[in-house]
Amino acid sequence: MKFSKVWSLILLCSSQGATAQLDIGQTSYTQFCSACHGKNGEGLSVEGNSAAGIPPLSQSEWLKGDADRVAQILLHGLEGPITVKGRSYNQIMPAQGALSDEQAVAVINYVRREFVGEKANYTLGDFKLARKFSKDRKKGWKAKELQELYPLPRPVSPIKNLLMQTYDGEWEATPNFSEIKSNAIEEEHDGYISLKKINKKKLFGVMWEGDFVVTKKAIYEFELDSDDGSRLTVGGNVVTSVKGMGGMGRRKIGKISLEPGSHKFRLEYFQNRGGKGLTLRYRERKTKWKWLSDAVQRNQPEKRIIDITPKDGKVRMYSNFIAGSTHRTMGVAYPHENNIAFSTENCNLDLIWKGDFINAGRHWVGRGQGAEAPASKDVVRLFKSVPWLNADGSQALKVKLKGYSMDKTGSPTFSYLVDSDLMVSDHFVSSAGSFQRVMNIESKSDREILFKISAQGAFKNGIIYIGDLMLKLPADTEVSSQGKSYHLKLSLKKGSNPLTILYTWKK
């Protein structure tokens, strides 16, 4: 017999064997699996409660990639919440002990080929190795555990022809990297943004360039977060940026209208000192977010809730990263559900909110990174900059925190130096629905300065209105405005100069 005939016979037998195995797989699937997952892998939905349904297998990301993931589910089952095709389910799938090894292998190959188009053949030897790997396991798998062992494959990225260039340097703001000579350039064939190949921990920059391809006209939103600064440009337009130095948790969202086709994509990032991090995701407006960075593979630990809202009439303080304020911030929770974030970097009141204070779980358990947001939705963001300006408002004055003292309730009085010759004490007194900010400015001479009280709102009859917050100013204080920013003109005398501002929530 000629070699070609021998080879043809081998292929025929192999094909017949594969077909027979798929037949066994289909029969076993119908007998053991279809009652829950559906004849065509469509799953079982429960109207109004997706968590009570059975996840689909058709086009499920859990069947793609490494087949050992499916084998482990058959061997030990699956417990707890799982997300499939963007929907959450929370049922228990028992181990399929009624299947023989041969049937299990046939089912694995059948569902992967039939429902997600995977052509790779899973063998009996592969299954026996999977069984040996988890032979000591006594309970069902959690989705998170399986993802750590067998990461889900990423979808095809819309970024094509992606190139990554790296730079050495020290910056405090994102430079234009196209004007700087790079150290190296690499092709990123998977089209995803990643810092994994950057071995340096500080003083470097990266620029990714490629083509962002869309198939329909829509408004696209991009969410960017980084430690330190970053800037995203699409189609020649800056869409969003995270400015300056700072940790993760400063997420910024920008939007842009794009026509079908290819649009030039550029992402610039610099790392000064401290931790490094960068995430980017996008969506057609009001649809599900899709990752463009490594964060799609990141397994976030379960969020610990440590509520430190005061319940005993005393004041609570939280010195850590608070979203919406600077890196050096003191959060203070007063009785009557009044809360502030005071920047000890700018000596400024950055945030005011009512209701619950903050969840300390991120920073008090382990070494949680990033900034924690206030625990309430009723947050008024004033501004993040030095509030003390020279008389014409052309520049900010230098400030330096000198410390703080606490009264018997734990309420702090912040003391700080302004422009080297003004010593300020800053104290807050809480009451139901409002609190007073009581300040005293010790001046070494007669002089005029401006105090920036707000960067937004409307001013009428001595009151600044910002959402549900009203700022009542002293009756004899002159108020000037620049755009929507409001400044108090302070004519200081040598010695003590009191200033009281009332913050009241609308009922």
pLDDT category of residue 154 using cuts at 50, 70 and 90: confident
Domain assignment present for residue 306? The answer is no
pLDDT digits (tens, 9 = 90+) for 421-456: 999 999 999 998 898 999 999 999 999 999 998 888
Residue that is last in its domain, among 297, 329, 352? 297
pLDDT of residue 49: 55
pLDDT band at 13, cuts 50/70/90? very low
Domain boundary among 270, 297, 324: 297
User: Same domain for 127 and 26?
Assistant: yes
Q: Which residues of 315-329 are buried (b: 16+ CB within 10 A; e: fewer)?
A: bbbbebbbbbbbeeb
Residue 68 lies in a domain: yes
Does residue 3 belong to any structural domain of this protein? no
Residue 23, pLDDT score:
83
pLDDT over 70 at 296, yes or no: no
- The pLDDT assigned to 396 comes to 92
Which CA distances in Å does 132 have to 107, 128, 459? 19, 6, 73
**114-126 pLDDT, tens digit each:** 999 988 889 999 9
pLDDT at 145 over 60: yes
pLDDT value for 47: 60
- CA–CA dist 231, 281 (Å, integer): 13
What amino acid occupies position 6? V
Both 84 and 166 in a single domain? no
- Half-sphere exposure (Cβ direction) of 148: Cα atoms closer than 13 Å: 8
pLDDT digits (tens, 9 = 90+) for 48-81: 555 568 899 999 999 988 999 999 999 999 998 9
pLDDT at 299 over 70: no
Domain contains 485? yes
Q: How many angstroms separate the CA atoms of 296 and 62, rounded?
A: 14
CATH of the domain at 135: 1.10.760.10
Domain's final residue, options 103, 118, 149: 149
pLDDT tens-digit profile of 352-384? 998 889 988 777 765 556 778 898 878 888 888
Q: Which tokens belong to 86?
A: 């963007």
Within 13 Å and on the Cβ side, how many CA atoms surround 106?
Answer: 22
- Say whether both 50 and 90 belong to one domain: yes
185-209 mean pLDDT: 90
Count the Cβ atoms, other than its own, within 10 Å of residue 303.
Answer: 10
pLDDT for residue 9 is more than 50 = no
pLDDT at 297 over 70: no
Residue 4 lies in a domain: no
Same domain? For 262 and 114 the reply is no
Give whole-number Cα distances, 293 to 174, 196, 214, 325, in Å.
19, 11, 17, 26
- Which residues are bridge partners to 223 per DSSP? 253, 281
Tell me how far apart the alpha carbons of residues 223 and 233 are, in angstroms, rounded to a whole number.
12
Query: Which of 13-17, 171-175, 255-259, 342-346 shows the lowest per-residue confidence on average (mean pLDDT)?
Result: 13-17
Tell me the pLDDT tens digit for each residue of 317-345: 998 888 888 888 999 999 888 999 999 99
Average pLDDT over residues 247-262: 93
366 with 431, same domain: the answer is yes
pLDDT of amino acid 281: 94
Q: Which domain holds residue 322?
A: 316-505
**Contact (CB, 8 A) for 263 and 178:** no
Q: How confident is the model at residue 310 (pLDDT cuts 50, 70, 90)?
A: confident
User: Are residues 89 and 177 located together in one domain of the fold?
Assistant: no
- Please write down the long-range contacts of 112-120, taking CB distance under 8 Å and 24 or more positions apart: 112/63, 112/64, 112/67, 112/70, 113/22, 114/26, 114/41, 115/41, 115/57, 115/58, 115/59, 115/60, 115/63, 116/58, 116/59, 116/60, 116/63, 116/64, 118/63, 118/64, 118/67, 120/67
Instruction: Determine, yes or no, domain membership for 127.
Output: yes
**pLDDT for 133 beyond 60:** yes
Burial profile 121-145: b = 16 or more Cβ within 10 angstroms, e = fewer = ebeeeebeebbeeeeeeeebbebeb
Q: Is residue 231 part of a domain?
A: yes
The answer to whether residues 171 and 144 belong to one domain is no
Distance CA 174, CA 130 (A): 48
Structure tokens at 232: 């995203």
Whether 139 and 191 map to the same domain: the answer is no
Count of domains observed in the chain: 3
Q: 3-class SS at 339? A: strand
Full-prediction pTM beyond 0.85? no
Of 217-221, 438-442, 483-487, which range is least confident?
A: 483-487
* Whether residue 142 is found in the same domain as residue 202: no
* Collapsed DSSP state (helix, strand, coil) of residue 161: strand
Q: How many CB atoms lie within 10 A of CB 424?
A: 21
CA atoms within 13 A on the CB side of 439: 24
Does residue 24 form part of some domain? yes
CATH of the domain at 267: 2.60.120.1560
d(C-alpha 275, C-alpha 371), whole Å: 13
Are 119 and 234 found together in one domain? no
Give the Cα-Cα-Cα angle 49, 86, 130 (nearest 5 degrees).
105
How does 365-387 read in b/e, with b if 16+ C-beta sit within 10 Å?
A: eeebebbbbbbeebbbbbbbebb
Q: Based on the domain organization, do 282 and 335 belong to the same domain?
A: no
369 neighbors 378 (Cβ within 8 angstroms): no
Mean residue pLDDT across the chain: 87
**Could you tell me whether strands 218-227 and 348-354 are parallel, antiparallel, or unpaired per DSSP bridges?**
unpaired
Tell whether omega for the bond before 446 is within 30 degrees of 0, i.e. cis: no
Give me the mean pLDDT over the 18-36 stretch: 83
Q: 3-state class of 451 per DSSP?
A: strand
CA angle 482, 483, 486 (to 5 degrees): 55
Task: Name which of 93-107, 242-256, 294-308, 472-486 the model is least confident about.
Answer: 294-308
Q: Taking the CA of residue 192 as centre, how many other CA atoms within 13 Å lie in the half-sphere pointing to its CB?
A: 18
484-494: average pLDDT: 90
- Give the per-residue pLDDT at 14: 46
How much is the pLDDT for 365? Answer: 67
Q: How far apart are CA 57 and CA 43, in angstroms?
A: 7
The answer on 272 and 143 residing in a single domain is no
